[in-house]
Amino acid sequence: MAHLLPFVPVPALLGFVILSLVPVPLSRAAVIALGVGAAVLPAILFFPVGLSCIEGVCVAGAVVPILSIDTGVFVAQIAMSMDPLSMVTGGTVVLVGALVLIYSGAYMASEPLPDLRRFFAVMNLFLAGMLAVVFAADVILLFLGWETIGLCSFMLIAFYDKLPKAVASGRKALITTRVADSFLLAGLMMLFLNAGTTRLDGMLAAVPGIDPWRLAPIAFLIALGALGKSAQFPFHTWLPSAMAGPTPVSALLHSATMVAAGVILLARLAPLFAAAPEISAMVAMLGILTAALGALVALIQTDVKKLLAFSTMSQIGFMVLALGLGAPAVALSHFAIHAVFKSLLFLSAGVMSHAAGGSTAIESLRGSRYRQPLAFWSFAVGAASLAGLPVITAGWYSKEAVLAAVWSSGPWGVPLWLLAATAAVLTGAYAFRVVFVAASQTADLAAPAWGGLAVVVPLTVLTLVAVIGGLSVGALIQFTGGATVHTPLLPTLLGAAAPILGVLLARQLVKHPQELEALAKRMRHVRIFRFEVLYYYYFVRRFRRVATVLGNAEGTEAVADAVALRREGVDVPGLVTDDPLGRGASQVRGIRTDLITRATDGQTPVVRMVAGDPVGRLLIVVARLFVGFFVARFNPDRIDRAWMGLAGGAGHAWALVRRTQTGRVRDHSLWIALGCAGLLLFAWGTSWR
């Protein structure tokens, strides 16, 4: 079935081409059918390919060559891998992609037709790009997909483009990931120059022959690229902003697949990182840092989408941690399980917030259990899986594998494990905070009927996988070439207790809401939590702070636009306050653009100065001075004066000569006499000799 593999991304690409480039008017139903169909077909095409794994076709290093182009400069070998890694990640992407697009068919149905078409076109292009990343066995296909999904991410975050904040968030995401991507490109180029081939397996085979001093920078650059795409510290600020996109986009791109591309890349290049242990250590440190910080910040979010965004950061931190510790198989199993439960969380949160009038504030979800029971219970299952409730959820199995890998990772294993377990407690707390709020009763339970098969099917399938998927974790790890680690009983038990502790904490927080507020307030003063405040203010809100100080008049207009849009029933995530300390940050401040945006819009003094093209101006000014200097020397033109002076002299000469021309007869006779005398004198003189 290997020959089917190259065709898996093709339907998605065709969907994009038809929807965006073919200028044929399509009806609403046709657009939805095309868009959804183009996402479901890859899943159907992938099915036989995945089945062939049972026959043992998918072994480590299995590659399907597609074409080889000798450009004269280098040989570009395009190929797709058919190894366990690409099968697991590819299977996850096609499954989640198909389900999220089915869901979008209902979720986006009320958008105007051109916007709907744009949405499905870009979603399909994204899916094609993501599949290229997942299946790529060469750097060309990999980077092609890598950048395509970055651009699609920008287009989709900026989908509600009438909101300045949405476009600004999209640009922020694209610019931040591009910074990381340029590091990645540098690393890949250096690897290519050292290995002399564009095939990834060839590059990895060449790794042992590369001088360690050269290998470390390469690994460092590639790691930075992967961390940027995966929104890991210090590149993470774009992910919370990215929630300005529609909910299906957040579910597919900014939780399940695109942000995990870094994990896939690190796993694929695992031998490279094994050869550069110091870089692996750095990756692990950044992973655990992001995991802990993300969980901490998620705890005090007031917006469910923002909460899930920080949660994604944190969970990917766990995967990156496992990768840094040299356990790619464990990371991949957590990737697969996380993709399922995180998209489930986003999709069910989308249904709940739709029933709550479009607001994504956690408080407005109150009573969802009665308004939207299916969505609520799906969310609860997703949250349980995210928290990792022992035995009954899939999340427990994969997170347990990560924790086990951490425990047994050498001298630093136990402290790292403690940090990771703390993050797991916090994960339980923030996940169930939303569940408990949504389960509580309110007076207002009138809910608009919304849903249908397009919502029920994805939610049900994802819920089922989020429960029973745990059984496959052991098999997944073995399939992708990892060894099952047997940990002692104590860490296993403690690891199982952590999420339960978290749930209890959440119960307390929700029962006494003032306590969360007090906690947030206390966290500002308690020295140990100062870190969080520092983190928030100096990494997440830093740009916004500066922008606030500098002042920005556009903010109020933007809010007016946003309020008007929400009144029309458009989901406006940008409007939601995102002050972690619950002090009711003004909506105006929420919509203020940050320094990156302002700088890139030419609104800061430095950029304004550069925009004036100082070098070009300087050259012109210098040229003017230069010309002025010399022109002054020759102005008035001295040679011209000399000629003019000559002309003046001629005039004077004329005045002198004219006196001789009197016209009188006596003067003429005098001249004649003088002439004759002169002639006679001359003749006399010549006859002398």
Partner 1 sequence: MALIALILLPAIGGLVAFFVAGKGERERWVTIATFALMLVLLIAVVATGGDGRWYDKVSYPWVPSFGISLEFAIDGLSATMIALAAGLGIISVMASWSEIRTQSGLFHASLCWTVAATVGVFLSFDLLIFAFFWEAMLVPAFTLIAVWGHGDKEGAALKFLIFNAAAGFGLLAASFALAAMADHMTFSAFELAEMKLSTPVQVWMLLGFSLAFMVKLSVPPFHAWLPEAHTLAPTAGSILLAGLLLKTGAYGLFRFAPMLFPDGLAAVAPYGIALGAAGALYGGLVACGQNDAKRLVAYTSIAHMSIVLMGIAAGVHYALAGAAVEMIAHSFSASALFLLIGALYERTHTRDLRQLGGLQQTAPKFAAAFALFCSALLALPGTANFVGEALVIVGIFQVNWVFALLALSTLIVSVIYATRLLKGLVFGLPQPKPPLADMTWREYWPILVMGIGTLIVGLYPQSLLALLEPAIKAALIHTP
Residues that bind partner 1 (CB under 8 A): 20-21, 23, 69-74, 114, 118, 140, 143-144, 146-148, 151, 154-155, 158, 161-162, 164, 167, 170-171, 174-175, 178-179, 181-183, 185-186, 189-190, 192-193, 561, 600-602, 607-608, 610-613, 615-620
Contact in structure between 97 and 43 (CB atoms under 8 Å): yes
Contact in structure between 401 and 477 (CB atoms under 8 Å): yes
Helix (H, G, I), strand (E, B) or coil at 177: helix
Closer by beta carbon to partner 1, 512 or else 608:
608
Closer by beta carbon to partner 1, 530 or else 617:
617
**Diameter of the chain by CA atoms?**
151
Nearest to 150 by CA among 168, 117, 118, 172: 172
Closer by beta carbon to partner 1, 192 or else 346:
192
Cα–Cα distance, 249 to 117 (Å, whole number): 15
Tell me the closest approach of the beta carbon of residue 187 to partner 1, in angstroms: 10
Helix (H, G, I), strand (E, B) or coil at 579: coil
Tell me the closest approach of the beta carbon of residue 558 to partner 1, in angstroms: 11
Closer by beta carbon to partner 1, 442 or else 600:
600
Give 25's strand partners. Answer: none
Contact in structure between 438 and 506 (CB atoms under 8 Å): no
94 CA to centre of own chain:
21
Tell me the closest approach of the beta carbon of residue 272 to partner 1, in angstroms: 17
Q: Dump the DSSP string for 454-492.
A: HHHHHHHHHHHHHHHGGGGHHHHHHHTTPPPP---HHHH
Q: What are the structure tokens assigned to 637, written together?
A: 């033109």
Contact in structure between 47 and 68 (CB atoms under 8 Å): no
Closer by beta carbon to partner 1, 153 or else 333:
153
Tell me the closest approach of the beta carbon of residue 46 to partner 1, in angstroms: 23
Closer by beta carbon to partner 1, 120 or else 407:
120
Closer by beta carbon to partner 1, 110 or else 508:
110
Closer by beta carbon to partner 1, 162 or else 641:
162
Tell me the closest approach of the beta carbon of residue 132 to partner 1, in angstroms: 10
- The amino acid sitting at 203 is M
Cα–Cα distance, 115 to 387 (Å, whole number): 36
Q: Which residues contact 601 (CB under 8 A, 6 or more apart)?
A: 593
Tell me the closest approach of the beta carbon of residue 557 to partner 1, in angstroms: 10
Residue 47 CB neighbours (<10 A): 15
- The amino acid sitting at 424 is A
Cα–Cα distance, 316 to 307 (Å, whole number): 14
Closer by beta carbon to partner 1, 20 or else 478:
20
Tell me the closest approach of the beta carbon of residue 245 to partner 1, in angstroms: 13
Tell me the closest approach of the beta carbon of residue 190 to partner 1, in angstroms: 6
Give 67's strand partners. Answer: 78
R_g of the chain, CA atoms, integer Å: 37
Tell me the closest approach of the beta carbon of residue 614 to partner 1, in angstroms: 9
